[in-house]
Structure 1
Amino acid sequence: MTKSFLTAAFFALFTSVSVGASAADAQPAKPASVVAQAAAINLNTADADTLTRELAGIGATKAQAIVDYRDAHGPFTAVDELLEVKGIGAATLEKNRAKLSVN
């Protein structure tokens, strides 16, 4: 009888721990608008450090080239204008297009 009681107690404890762990792992989904706002990097306001940190294939030199282009030619009017920056090619633009804005 004691063995049955201990087995039942262990099973109850184990079940409650595993259910609690599963609930702790679940995170509520963020609305799409929140995700999109957090991911957007404005080419007209981002500094070189932000561009380096947030964009794939953009190191410090290319990030500074983006800022220098913006300073020399005025604000970007379209994300595709990034192709005018020396060192930025179509592949780099496509890797980052979803993260970029010019608003």
Structure 2
Amino acid sequence: MKKIFALLVLSVSLLFCSIDLQNASKSELMSIKGIGPVKAEQIIEYRKTNQIKSPEDLKNIKGFGNGVVSNIKENKTVSNMKMKEKEKKAKVEEKRKDKIDKVKNSNKSEEEIKERKQKINEKAMERKKDIKEKREKMKEKKDRKNSES
């Protein structure tokens, strides 16, 4: 009987488990609905100088409001497909920033730099759009498969 009770307590605690905001990785933070790579970085930067004791503490960070805090409290996470999309978009954004930094540090004229930055931004936006469309197609395919069975 004690084993059954212990198992029940463990199951319930895992069910209502939430992410440890003070120690979570960027990827774990991004699994929360409403938190992408930028907000995850903001949390990581914030906790370097502040202790996060509750989701309410995130309201001290610019851009964090009741919506994100309630998603954390309610343990709302995104699907695996959406998570992969977020990670891919974050990689595209990192590459975009790196390319822009390289262009800024080049010997090109201001006009050439401006044109190159515009092309880099357009290409990154296209790539992010492609990533989103691919996820939506996969979701549609999955939904069709589920409705057929």
After TM superposition, the structure 1 = structure 2 runs for residues 5-20 of structure 1, keeping only pairs within 5 Å, are none
- Structure-1 separation of matches of 2:49 and 2:12: 35
**2:27 is the counterpart of 1:49:** yes
Q: After TM superposition, give the deviation of residue 77 of structure 1 in Å.
A: 2.3
User: 1-side partners of 2:49 and 2:11: how far apart?
Assistant: 38
TM-score normalised by length of structure 1: 0.56
What secondary structure, in the 3-state scheme, does the structure 2 residue paired with 1:88 have? coil
The secondary structure found in structure 1 opposite 2:57 is helix
14, 24, 27: which one aligns with 1:34 = 14
Structure with the higher helix share, 1 or 2: 2
Q: Distance in 2 between matches of 1:77 and 1:95?
A: 16
1:86 aligned partner: 62
Whole-angstrom CA distance in 1 between matches of 2:15 and 2:54:
21
Greater RCO, 1 or 2 (C-alpha within 8 Å, sep 6+): 1
**Which residue number in structure 2 is paired with residue 14 of structure 1?**
none
Q: Which residue number corresponds to residue 58 of structure 1?
A: 35
Shift of 1:95: 2.0
RMSD: 2.1
Paired residue total: 67
Give the secondary-structure state (helix, strand or coil) at the position aligned to 1:32: helix
Q: Note the C-alpha offset of 1:99.
A: 2.7
Q: Could you list the runs of 5+ residues in structure 2 that have no partner in the other structure?
A: 1-9, 77-149
SS at match of 1:42: coil
How far does the alpha carbon of each residue in 1:53-94 deviate from its partner, in whole angstroms, 9 at most, with x for none? x20010000000001000022x21222111111211111211
CA offsets, 1:15-44, max 9 Å, x none?
A: xxxxxxxxxxxxxxx93223223xx10011
